[in-house]
Amino acid sequence: MLRISIGSDRALISRVGIVRTILLAMVLSNTCSYAEDEVWDITKPKGNSRIIEFTTDEVTASSVDITPDGQWIIFDQLAHINRVPATGGESEILTQDSGIATNMHPRVSPDGKEIAFISDRGGNNHIWIMGLDGSNPRQLHDDINQCVFDPTWTPDGKSIVVRKQAVCHRGTDMTEGLWIFEVATGKGKAIVSGNASSPSVSPDGKYVYFTMTTCPGDPPAYLSDFLRGCQQIQRLELATGEIKPFTSGKTVSTWVNNSNGGAIEPRVSPDGRWLAFARRISDGTVKYKGHEYGPRTALWLRNLEDGSEQLLMDPITTDGSEQTGYAAPLIPHYSWSSDSRSMVLSEG
């Protein structure tokens, strides 16, 4: 994982070390017999299984967040939520009691006391909330016919905004839009319709920035042509419901700052000054083990006061806009520090 420090003229990048030992229950056979009245428990492996123990110091495509006090980095890995000291060290699994259920997309509450995340331990991908140490997990949203992803807290900690999806085993083309759920009651309502994802709420609670597939015909996100600008950032005003385009550009003539017009995965800084987002470098390539491919994805900053943009980090993890599955974000979720001077993201 990397930590980027935001300066006036450059970005300083440091690596956060992770060392951990993992115990996995590996299912070797799924051929079992069931009684008709047996209740299926998704947290328990079926058939023959065995424990495999191994140690790792790396993660891949991990969604990460950092606590407001800067002490802990929270991340998902191998279907579990983990935390590791921000200075590096041994991580601990916070969702071990959920067995083989999938847990992902952690987001720390504004007061730093709780973590919202997505888990299918109840039978489908729903919002769960637990303590910062993994204690007292509880399910906030329950709908066996629909699932949610990409949780983000409102600044007052009273609500959580998510991407809602009608058919959970399909791709992001089945997205129903963005919903907001009350933490106290679990009640939710739609706030954005269409193929919207990756919400980020402004620190004053007035706006929600999000990614929207915008090309004619509303193609599924994993078939969208990012280089044509088929995915853009839009902004919702919560009080009025008004939605305005925030980025644009579909042709070479509208490319700015040596990049194409597409933009995804917005993150508003806690001080409200910056909007981080990802773009592709149109003629950029990446080399890996003797292979060269492209275009490459980079992280950008927009100054919300004057509209200027700057390239922050190039490259970052290649986006998955053409092939991302239903659960994965277009790039792994990343996060600002509470002082708006640095960001934490997964790279690799």
Q: Which residue has the higher pLDDT, 19 or 88?
A: 88
Average the pLDDT over 109-137 and give the result. Answer: 97
Domains and CATH numbers, the chain: 2-345 (2.120.10.30)
If pLDDT is split at 50, 70 and 90, which confidence band does 50 have?
confident
CB-based burial, 15-46: b 16+ in 10 Å, e otherwise: ebebebeeebeeeeeeeeeeeeeeeeebeebe
pLDDT class of 48 with cuts at 50, 70, 90: confident
User: Is pLDDT above 60 for 40?
Assistant: yes
pLDDT tens digit sequence for 301-329: 999 999 999 999 999 988 877 665 567 88
Q: Determine which of 36-40, 92-96, 183-187, 312-316 has the lowest per-residue pLDDT on average.
A: 36-40
Higher model confidence: residue 58 or residue 174?
58
Section 273-280 average pLDDT: 94
Most confident of 260-264, 276-280, 315-319: 276-280
Structure tokens at 214: 């915008």
Task: Please report the pLDDT score of residue 286 as a whole number.
Answer: 86
pLDDT > 70: percent of the chain: 78
Q: How confident is the model at residue 294, as a pLDDT?
A: 77
Residues present in the chain in total = 348
The whole-number average pLDDT for the span 129-141 is 97
pLDDT of 284 higher than 70? yes
Please report the pLDDT score of residue 231 as a whole number: 85
According to the per-residue pLDDT averaged within each range, which of 49-58, 64-73, 140-149, 280-289 is highest?
A: 64-73
Q: Are strands 291-293 and 64-66 parallel, antiparallel or unpaired?
A: unpaired
Query: Which pLDDT belongs to residue 256?
Result: 47
Instruction: Say yes or no to pLDDT of 28 above 70.
Output: no
Give me the pLDDT at residue 107, please: 99
* Number of neighbours of residue 50 by Cβ within 10 angstroms: 10
Interval 275-304 mean pLDDT: 89
277 class by beta-carbon count within 10 Å (0-12 exposed, 13-18 middle, 19+ buried)? buried
pLDDT at 280: 85
In the chain, DSSP finds a helix count (H) and a strand count (E) of 0, 29
Global pTM value: 0.88
- Residue that wins the pLDDT comparison between 225 and 117: 117
Q: What is the mean pLDDT of the chain?
A: 84
Query: Are the beta carbons of 259 and 248 closer than 8 angstroms?
Result: no
Which tens digit of pLDDT belongs to each residue from 193-208? 988 999 999 999 999 9
pLDDT of residue 65: 98
Q: Where are the beta strands (DSSP E) in 2-59?
A: 2-6, 11-15, 18-27, 49-56
Task: Give me the residue label for tokens 């890996």.
Answer: 288
pLDDT of res. 340? 97
Per-residue CA distances from 207 to 133, 235, 343 (Å): 30, 6, 21
pLDDT, position 288 = 84
Q: 333, 316 in Cβ contact below 8 A? A: no
The answer for residues whose C-beta is within 8 angstroms of residue 190's C-beta and 6 or more apart is 164, 176, 177, 178, 179
